[in-house]
Amino acid sequence: MLAYNPHSLIDSRLSFDVGALNPGFLMKSTSLKGNKAQKVDQSQEFDQCDRELLINMLRRMTLIRAFDSRLPALYTQGLIRGSSHASIGQEAVAVGACFALRQTDYVTSTHRGHGHTIAKGGDVKRMMAELLGRAAGYCRGKGGSMHIADFSIGMLGANGIVAGGIGIAAGAALSVTMRESHDVVLCFFGEGAINQGVFLECGNMAALWALPVIFLCENNQFAMSARPTETTSVSDLTKRAAAFGISGEQIDGMDVVAVFHAVRQAAERARTGKGPSFVEAICYRYEGHFSGDNLRYRMKEERAAWNKKDPILNLRTRLIGANWLNVQEGDDLVRDAERQIDEALEFAKASPLPEPATAWEDLYA
């Protein structure tokens, strides 16, 4: 058994304190242990983003949180079944990364994929309809939470197999290369997926063939209930990138601006034939592994400490601090997101369950 101090992990990974909500603090660069990448002054990064982009990122992150925050109620009301996995706390990774892409670029996702789909521009109405198993859902009720896909926006699907998206992403990147397209592929996966063999196999081939793929590891501190220290031989996951001979960068995944810049650089490398990159976004899964997880494996104090790094609250605070947003506008964003989720739910409820005969559609063998 590993002795676990709930604060040691936080302290070793991220330095932040109660002053974190002070926008002045946030303008400073974060200190990330083991980060070999060049430190960038965050205020510079922040200033490089225009107001509209940052507001849009805040809006999208708020929408993701509103969507995933609705899950427990949907279970309680008996509206959804099976498993669903909330990405509350990880919104900055999804949004920062997808906003660094072009519309035609591809994304592969994970079992915790609602945020990725929303960030890439997915329709929350069709997502909600899919969660409710309705005919109007993205997968016509055949996929549910873990298999939402929207090929019209390059979203190649959430995936119920841990690391299942990694090979698909590398394959899409090979396809892009062979078709001489300039698209890139963003591959989201959790730190739990890094120990699947397919990551070694596809990371190697992606590097060997200089494929335009960004391996974005969302290190949310938990693979189900297991911490990286219990499962992974290195604490700095970019060492795995070093094994492939590709760029590896550790970033603050609670900071949407940091994610945006890191992925934009990685996308630029990919688009210009410089091959794959690995980005480890240090973040935190505020909720359990699945809706209904009792979270016996962690202490409340830990969550409280990470609350100070809340990606949405921090961006909002920074925007208000920069006079790019006032409190009223910030509150309106939240109300607007809630309204969209209400409408999505109404849309989903209004859609019928799939006709039983459709169970036989889209099967060919």
Partner 1 sequence: MLDERVITYSAALNEALRQEMRRDRTVFVMGEEITGWGDGGGVFGVTKDLSNEFGKSRVRNTPISEEGIVAIGVGAALTGMRPVVELMYGDFLTLAMEPLVNQAAKLRYMFGGQAQVPLVVRSNIGASGGKAAQHSQSLESWIMHVPGLKLALPSTPYDAKGLLKTAIRDNNPVVFLEHKLLYFAKGVVPEDDYTVPFGKAIVRRSGRDASIIATQAMLAKCLTIAERLAHEGIELEVVDPRTLVPFDIETVVESVKRTHHLLICHEAVERCGWAGEVAMAVLEQVFDYLDAPIVRVCGKNLPIPYSSSLEDIVIPSEQDLLTATMALLGRQEYVVELT
Number of residues forming the site for partner 1 (CB under 8 A): 44
CB 228 within 8 A of CB 280: no
| Dist. CA 259–CA 40, nearest whole Å | 12
Residue 95 CB: number of other CB atoms within 10 A? 30
Angle between helices 311-321 and 327-350 (to 10 degrees): 140
The phi and psi torsions of 249 (rounded to 5 degrees) equal -135, 135
By C-beta, is 142 or 308 nearer to partner 1?
Answer: 142
Show the tokens assigned to 253.
């995944």
170 binds partner 1 (CB under 8 A): yes
Name the one range near partner 1 by CB under 8 A: 3-11, 59-67, 136-144, 334-342.
136-144
Query: Residue 245 CB, nearest distance to partner 1 (Å)?
Result: 14
Binder of partner 1 out of 91, 150, 191, 287 (CB under 8 A): 150
252, 282, 289, 340 from 217: Cα distances, Å: 12, 8, 17, 29
Query: Residue 162 CB, nearest distance to partner 1 (Å)?
Result: 10
Alpha-carbon dihedral sign for residues 269, 271, 276, 278: positive
142 binds partner 1 (CB under 8 A): yes
Binder of partner 1 out of 89, 143, 248, 330 (CB under 8 A): 143
Query: Residue 229 CB, nearest distance to partner 1 (Å)?
Result: 27
151 binds partner 1 (CB under 8 A): yes
By C-beta, is 202 or 282 nearer to partner 1?
Answer: 202
Binding map of partner 1 across residues 173-212, x = CB under 8 A, - = no contact: xxxx-xx-----------------xx--xx-xx--x----
169 binds partner 1 (CB under 8 A): yes
Query: Residue 133 CB, nearest distance to partner 1 (Å)?
Result: 11
| Dist. CA 167–CA 262, nearest whole Å | 22
| Cβ-proximal residues to 280 (8 Å cutoff; 6+ apart), any chain | 191, 217, 219, 236, 237, 238, 248, 249, 250, 251
CB 116 within 8 A of CB 188: yes
By C-beta, is 108 or 265 nearer to partner 1?
Answer: 108
Question: Please, what's the b/e burial string for 318-355 (b: 16 or more CB within 10 A of its CB; e: otherwise)?
Answer: bbeeeebbeeeebeebbeebbebbeebbebbeebeebe
SS3 per residue for 246-283: CEEEEEECCCHHHHHHHHHHHHHHHHCCCCCEEEEEEC
167 binds partner 1 (CB under 8 A): yes
| Dist. CA 299–CA 294, nearest whole Å | 11
Binder of partner 1 out of 23, 34, 160, 321 (CB under 8 A): 160
Residues within window 303-362 making contact with partner 1, judged by CB under 8 A: 361-362
By C-beta, is 26 or 166 nearer to partner 1?
Answer: 166
By C-beta, is 207 or 325 nearer to partner 1?
Answer: 207
Binder of partner 1 out of 89, 96, 115, 164 (CB under 8 A): 164
By C-beta, is 58 or 202 nearer to partner 1?
Answer: 202
Interface with partner 1 (CB under 8 A) = 106, 108, 137-143, 147, 149-151, 156-157, 159-161, 164, 166-176, 178-179, 197-198, 201-202, 204-205, 208, 361-365
